[in-house]
Homo-oligomer: A and B are copies of this chain.
Amino acid sequence: MSEIHPIAWNSGSRILTLLDQTLLPSREKYIDHTDPETVAEAISTLVVRGAPAIGCAAAFGLVLASYQYSGTDGKALAGWVADAADLLADSRPTAVNLAWALKRMLEVLEKTGGQDVGRIQNSLEAEAIAIFNEDLASCRKMGNIGAGLVPENARIMTYCNAGALATAGYGTALGVIRSAHRMGKVRTVWVCETRPVLQGARLTYWELMKEGIGCTLVTDNIVGSLMSAGDVDLVVVGADRIAANGDVANKIGTYTVAVLAERHNVPFVVAAPLSTIDLSKATGESIPIEERPPEEISGYGGVSWVPNGARIYNPAFDVTPADLVHAIVSERGIAQAPYSSSLNALFASGD
């Protein structure tokens, strides 16, 4: 079991502790949060990142908001929490898990309308803990289900970080790799560094090292060469939002990996919980794509390698069309084309 805890809720002290992922792998620093504003900032600055993880963090952000309210008026509390939800919703636009978690929390708020403040607060806390625990359980299920798609002696490529750090724990894509590794199926993992923020080099490599899973770090632009040489058996990635037709928004560059995988007949598998699937978006075209600061591209750690005044374009995500996706692994099973029906079937299936 993974000993990586990117998000920890302390119920007694009402503190949300986040592992600062911007400092990994050189420093393992944990930061305590007691208000929704700093949680929103932690999300937007990538202290906590990964679609399921930011959903969990945002839910606890609302719990912190509710506990900040010290009055006795349930309606005033609800307004207070709703304001915090607006703030958190704006912290990052692409991953739908954020909106999904906030929606679950606000539904609890609505259901508990008229109850006293303490009971509303307790219900919100219970819901956030449920979101967290469900995500952890989903990752474990996804891992075991997805491992069935991994061939023996597999050389698996993964992109960005869809690991314990990106979830409540265990991971989505890395959950599949962890489970497959425990079954003895993994020969090696190709870790793409994932420019510009280097989540692969900094986070995924660190996680796989901790777990003792053999891996090799490569630049993103080696993917085609590795596949052309026949050195990749399977690609597994996570997702930030999946549209109703199976289009997958994920870290910028994922589309490129998928195109190369198709050319070289390498199965391209996406692992994501149902909370990442947004049936309200017919296709990937309507998924909002976040544009992030140019400083993420112009340098790292105080060192800049770009001419002063350079114009930089830094979209953080791209959309992989459904026809390049071999399978979507969820906690309720595997969906395959045609996704318009198979994704609906997952939602209809119940646990």
Contacts and interface: CB of A to CB of B under 8 A. Distances in A.
Interface in A204-257: 205-206, 209, 215-225, 228, 252-253, 255-256
B259 A202 contact: no
22 contacts: A25-B305, A25-B306, A26-B304, A196-B219, A201-B298, A201-B306, A202-B306, A205-B307, A209-B309, A209-B310, A216-B311, A217-B312, A217-B313, A218-B314, A219-B252, A220-B253, A222-B252, A222-B253, A222-B318, A223-B256, A259-B260, A300-B303
B198 A305 contact: yes
Contacts of A195: 193, 195, 219-221
Nearest to A159: B221
A12 interface: no
A212 to B, nearest CB: 13
A136 to B, nearest CB: 24
A262 to B, nearest CB: 9
Contacts of A305: 25-26, 198, 201-202, 300-301
Contacts of A119: none
Contact of A302 (B303, B310, B313): B303
A313 B260 contact: no
Pick the 3 closest A-B CB pairs, nearest first: A221-B253, A224-B256, A225-B318
B306 A222 contact: no
A82 interface: no
Interface in A152-185: none
A255 B263 CA distance: 12
A297 interface: yes
Contact of A306 (B217, B220, B303, B313): B217
A315 interface: yes
Given A195-B195, A218-B314, A225-B256, 13 more contacts: A25-B305, A195-B221, A201-B310, A216-B313, A217-B297, A217-B298, A218-B313, A219-B314, A223-B256, A224-B255, A228-B255, A300-B300, A303-B303
* Size category, A interface: 35 or more
A224 B318 contact: yes
A314 B201 CA distance: 13
* Dominant secondary structure at the A interface: mixed
Contacts of A201: 297-298, 305-306, 310
Given A195-B193, A305-B201, A305-B300, A256 B310 contact: no
Specify which of A221, A222, A299, A313 lies most central, judged by the most chain B CB atoms within 10 Å of its CB. A221
B307 A206 contact: yes
A205 B306 contact: yes
Contact of A217 (B224, B311, B315): B311
A44 to B, nearest CB: 20
A245 to B, nearest CB: 16
A205 B309 CA distance: 11
Contacts of A313: 216-218, 222
